[in-house]
Amino acid sequence: MIVYNNGVYCRLSQAAVSVQDRGYQFGDGAYEVIHYTDHHGVDEDWHLDRLDYSLTQLQIPWPMSANALRQCIRHVRLLNKLSTVNIYISITRGVPATRDFAFPKTPCAPVLTMIPYRHKPVAERLRTKGMTIITAPDQRWGRCDIKAIALLAPSLAKQAATEAGADDVWMVDTQGCITEGSSCNAFIVTPTGEILTRPPSHAILKGITRTRLIALARDAGLKVTERPFAVSELKEAAEAFITRTTGFIIPVTWVDKYSIGTGHPGPVTHNLLSLYETFVQEQKHGRFADTTRFVV
């Protein structure tokens, strides 16, 4: 596999970063994952807008223009002959002269890496039976709106889910409300058919898939309300699902060993997935024109 490593395309096994990189020492960097399907980047512009937001919040300069970055992503796809792929892009603050918690006085050059990850379609079991999740306290920092590379808290939470035999974890704030999944946004459908998800704030990552899906659902006349919902509401929900770039929409059917609704993926989730899949095809063929910018 060929990756992009700060100016050079090289084999994955030969790609290395400095042990002094602030990404390595402090988790000081931002990232994005963009899904390409038949060489079309699903909402690529929005991902680059969100990357811009993360970098701005962290005061890390762009290592190159957004258009040059698009070209590098394209080269990575072509060099690997991968038309349907997930591209992981990370930008760290770089390698300072000395180790200090404050940013280097003489700014260092940001370090950009890109790794293509083969796209695995959502497993048959998850599509047809839904995911099992546990709930656990949200132990992350106060700026989850930034797509930062520091991912220790969600890793620990996901490990706890794995050890409990579950597919994922939904994290819970101090008020008893769901924030989001370890690497996905969380939605429920109430018994009256209303779609609920937490509004964007510093408590969650404003997902690209989430944002697109909400717009599509509202256009289709469905009622979507952005408000926090409690674990008790999740347990009484008719349906639940997650959204993320690498899986679109995946039903959730069990939480903490309780079944959600019928315990099977429900009709609203199915409908939303088909709306989203149609959108991906339309956007790929240039029939879905949307020039709005992604605002976090």
Nearer to ligand PMP, 63 or 207 (CB): 207
Beta bridge partners of residue 32, listed in sequence order: 89
Which of the residues 200 through 229 are near ligand PMP (CB under 6 A)? Answer: 205, 207-210
CB of 288 to ligand PMP, least distance (A): 17
Q: Name the residue whose CB lies closest to ligand PMP.
A: 207
Q: Does 244 bind ligand PMP (CB under 6 A)?
A: yes
- β-bridge partners, 243: 185, 249
Among 147, 206, 235, 284, the active-site one is 147
Shorter beta-carbon distance to ligand PMP: residue 243 or 269: 243
Nearest to 101 by CA among 209, 9, 190, 27: 27
Q: Are 92 and 149 in contact (CB under 8 A)?
A: yes
135 binds ligand PMP per the rule CB under 6 A: no
Alpha-carbon span 183 to 247, nearest angstrom? 11
CB 95 within 8 A of CB 20: yes
How many angstroms separate the CA atoms of 251 and 256, rounded?
A: 15
Q: Which is nearer to ligand PMP, 79 or 296 (CB)?
A: 296
Stretch that binds ligand PMP, among 51-59, 66-74, 155-163, 180-188 (CB under 6 A): 180-188
Please state, as a whole number, how many other Cβ atoms lie within 10 Å of the Cβ of residue 132.
20
Nearest to ligand PMP of 155, 274 (CB atom): 155
Beta bridge partners of 65: none
**Residue numbers 136-175 binding ligand PMP by CB under 6 A:** none
Cα torsion 90, 113, 46, 118 to 10°: value is -100
Q: Is 120 a catalytic residue?
A: no
Question: Is residue 245 at the binding interface for ligand PMP, with CB under 6 A as the rule?
Answer: yes
Write out the catalytic residue numbers: 147
- Residues of this chain that bind ligand PMP (CB under 6 A): 33, 180, 183-185, 205, 207-210, 243-245
